[in-house]
Amino acid sequence: MMRLCLVADCAKPYHAHGYCARHAYHFKAHGDPLGGRRGASPGEPLRWIEENASYSGDDCLKWPFEITRWGYGSIKHNGKKRIASRVMCETAHGLPDDPSMDAAHSCGKGHLACMNPQHLRWATRLENIEDAKAHGTWAEGQRKKAPDLTDDMVREMRALWPAMTQRAIAEKFNIGETRAHNILRRKAWAWVM
């Protein structure tokens, strides 16, 4: 007897995690086989943000629409794909003083699509990283899954520069030039001294 998807009214064959391929993907990406709605009618996600910008509860408010593979809400806004929590922060708190600022989550659950405007504030990238470290959601260097660089390799890269070109360093460590640029200028791996 063929196993079927566990979602009610879905008669598609089992693929993984008890679900058909579509629902298994949603379960893996969003933790819910019905999560991460795509195909919302135009304007519906922005309308949801506007309706919830004055939400005053303490609990996390989960984004009910499309979610990125990193768990953040995604919205098409002014013709561009954007992180939904940033649009919520703009709507609830106004534009940031500097466009490079992040929409930081005080709850530490931005990666779980939290959209509570009370949990959002504008913060510098460094402040946002410090928040993530405090919440235990930041994985540095070697603690990341399958790292291709180590702290010592980053130190060696920086020691070679500027005597060695950025391109040569990228080739030596088998990484892209943009990534080498970001590491050498401390835009990435900034914690390594």
Tell me the pLDDT tens digit for each residue of 156-192: 999 998 899 998 998 888 888 888 898 998 888 887 8
Backbone angles phi and psi of 116, in degrees to 5: -60, 120
Question: What is the pLDDT at residue 14?
Answer: 87
Residue 186 CA to residue 181 CA, distance in Å, equals 8
Cis peptide before 162 (omega within 30 of 0): yes
pLDDT of residue 96: 95
- Domain with residues 44-135, CATH architecture: Alpha-Beta Complex (3.90)
84-142 pLDDT, tens digit per residue, is 999 999 999 999 999 999 999 999 888 888 999 999 999 999 998 888 888 877 766 54
Q: Which amino acid is residue 142, in one-letter code?
A: Q
Paired residues of 4 in beta bridges: 13
**Sign of the four-CA dihedral 156, 162, 166, 169:** negative
pLDDT at 143: 47
- 60 in Cβ contact with 114 (< 8 Å): yes
> What's the pLDDT at 98?
93
Q: Domains of the chain: which residue ranges?
A: 1-34, 44-135, 141-184
